Structure 1
């Protein structure tokens, strides 16, 4: 205990999609509280990285980049088995396996599970479900190491807890997070092809019919890939891994010959006519294969605006024949009361807009972002957006409280990088290395 933490002197760090590049002075992997405290005290600037699935430069730093993946910890299960303290650096995959071994499951999660628990809560990451909130809504306590290397614990009723629930890494480094859990359950996944208009006209009914509902629609196809997840008493077969090799080929062909994209998208939808079904432990059914790299923007809109804005975005792409290789993703998410959550304005429809990582995306994202904003949308903090400080304060009435707590717990701005400094107009005494 308390030995030298594993460190790596690197010249370059990239996020998952490859679009965010940084040159940290070092990447450190502390194994215990003493090592973490020593790293924090010695550093002028600190950011934490999980799986690198943020498309915004939240992890970018020229200072010390910390990974909590090797930090020692174990589940601490409450006597009533309704909450657990979980290591904050664990991936959702690792957490799901550990919970299942104890007869427990997460309430909800998204379809990507390499993300760390801390990273998922800190950015407002979510799954789908008309009555289910983001992963941050499952948190009910935090153990944090602050900028001076001391530790604290916070929970409901504490301003630090309220700010930390969606923190963007600005208050300290979470070592453990207390989360609500439920008895272990199985899910059945059903995927089928449906007509877009048929789904759009019944979206509220379809969202209420199953615990989880979402769909994917290519901008040049009138068919959607409609997906539901619903609890079942037990699994009757072991789920198989997704195979996205055909879609990968479509993306490569589209990148080489953009004019072919409309035909390719209609072709792949015709090929996907067979409905599929699988079931298994919830933590194995939630995730999907995501081996094809992409860039992503996501906006959370008032639920009634979701379908009309999706139609407008598709019409824009078709009118201008934009070479967009990926489908839109449409999900439903419940409202919450988290200060900086894009869901605190009410129940939301989540629209995700992707582009294949091998193709241009910035100009297309700009055009679609304007459409999303026109519908009252708020962006996912970790996905591409162009919010200004004025936008933040207009959209989030509790932003001033969030920043007041930040200044109290980290007055020197140790956990601030150039991106969040610009986003929130945070002034720090030390230069921000990038």
Structure 2
């Protein structure tokens, strides 16, 4: 192992920090004992499998699971269901948006891009389209998404449901780039809306959390196809916090990964680049960091008193790295290390101070976490339940490995977000109820009232939505 020269990209950082922990945990959970078949026998005599999300912190046993092939089958399924109906995408939400013990509906077969208008730079995107597929399909038409999240495994409708976002001072969430929605109401009626047609429904449903109806497709605004250059480098925590606004203003996209229990922070800047300026043989990220941090993670399990020293040691050897590629290739990052996540969005100008208080609290309370904390800037929008509603935001995402207790960690830092007037991400873990949420989202009560008009019998309401919406 060569510890004198460690190239560490953000993908390596996120993956390698916990490799040893995850490996040891999964081996400890394995069993050679035969397991009974999962699921229950449905009304049609076929087995209905249970569901769980990506990280495993949410699960349910529905009485039926449906995957309609087209919009007509979807409408029939909603009409025929005599129970609660919840939609599921790729399972990348950590809050309880999906679980139901009744009908679980997947839109995975409703996918693809159509009605492409290259002049207007718009296209219709079916709800079940994965974000990774969306980027590739648009590229075929010489188009790119305006922005994208740094995980592209989500379904398009799921991303809309929770204002999924990337980073960039002048760039909003995916929901902010919508130009129209098509959805099925609880009674099976198909309805369309846009900023100019039924605008209240449009701005409510552009972050619908599955409560308004079932989105079947949406009209998306795009950009001409473009390439990106990503540069990442390690700096001190002090420098990273002090220069956050400067670097945000300098680059099209800028984000930070703060390392708990260390003195370091990883900066990631992304800008457009001409295809002609991409090197013929661009550098390939080193794999050294994976092994180095796997060793570090294992050591921390046995010697927690060395946590700070080991994280600082690993970070101190990081060298700058550059990547080039098509827009969707640079935006999307593989996340094969499972985790649970809390994200709050605070006012942009308060972001660095809030992040510092989170990092200081982790150190002061000696919270056993080494997973990087991601911080991103996002532009304001008009979407009713968007964390960025009429306010530029600084999104702070805190994670812990899926097999580690996250509750004590999140309980310690969540009040810090409240102190800075933070709004929770709807797809991630939070503890707020309707009274607190109404104080943070100006149109919250309007959303609840419109939802009642759209779905008076609560066909799309599960236990989690009942709790957070107060219905």
Distance of aligned partners of 1:242 and 1:296 in 2 relative to their CA distance in 1, 3 Å threshold: farther
TM-score (norm 2): 0.85
Cα RMSD, aligned residues only: 2.0
Task: Trace 1:279-358 onto structure 2 (pairs within 5 A).
Answer: 279-358=324-403
Contact 1:7 1:26 in 2 (8 A): no
- Alpha-carbon distance in structure 1 between the residues aligned to 2:303 and 2:148: 36
Q: Matched residues in 2 for 1:302 and 1:144: separation?
A: 32
Indicate conservation of the 8 Å contact 2:354/2:420, yes or no: yes
Shift of 1:297: 0.5
CA–CA distance in 2 between the matches of 1:9 and 1:239?
A: 49
CA distance in 2, matches of 1:121, 1:260: 42
Residue 371 in structure 1 maps to residue 416 in structure 2: yes
In the alignment, structure 1 residue 131 sits paired with structure 2 residue 177: no
* Cα distance in 1 between the residues matched to 2:148 and 2:357: 29
Q: Partners of 2:107 and 2:375 in 1: how far apart?
A: 32
Mark the runs of 5 or more structure 2 residues left unpaired by the alignment: 1-43
**Is 2:242 the partner of 1:201?**
yes
Specify the SS of the correspondent of 1:306.
Answer: helix
User: d(CA) in 1 for partners of 2:206 and 2:354?
Assistant: 29
Contact 1:259–1:323, Cα closer than 8 Å, also in 2: no
Which of 270, 274, 294 pairs up with 1:229?
A: 270
Quick one: distance in 1 between partners of 2:326 and 2:225? Answer: 8
CA distance in 1: counterparts of 2:308 and 2:126, whole angstroms: 45
**Hey, what does 1:54 align to over in structure 2?**
93
For residues 237-283 of structure 1, what are the alpha-carbon distances to aligned partners after superposition, in whole Å with 9 as ceiling and x for unaligned? 57868967444554455445544432332222123x22111101000
Deviation per residue, 1:305-336 (Å, 9 max, x gap): 11111111111111121101201111111111
Is it true that 1:220 corresponds to 2:261 in the alignment? yes
Indicate how the Cα distance of structure 1 residues 149 and 258 shifts in structure 2: closer, same or farther if over 3 A, else same.
farther
Could you tell me how far 1:110 is from its partner in structure 2? 1.1
Cα displacement (A) at 1:86: 0.8
SS at match of 1:75: strand
Offset of residue 211 of structure 1: 0.3
Aligned to 2:142: 103
Residue in 2 that maps onto 1:430: none
Moved more, 155-164 or 255-264: 255-264
**Alignment check: 8 A CA contact 1:214 1:332 kept:** yes
Give the equivalent residue in structure 1 for 2:309. Answer: 263
Paired position in structure 2 for 1:186: 227
Question: Does 2:453 correspond to 1:412?
Answer: no
Structure 2 residue 156 is the aligned partner of structure 1 residue 156? no
Q: Which residue of 1 aligns with 2:6?
A: none
Structure with the greater relative contact order (CA < 8 A, sep ≥ 6): 1 or 2?
A: 2
Q: What residue number does 1:12 align with?
A: 50
Counterpart in the other structure of 1:432: none
Residues 111 and 125 in structure 2, CA contact (< 8 A), matched pair in contact too: no
**Equivalent of 1:274, from 319, 334, 338?**
319
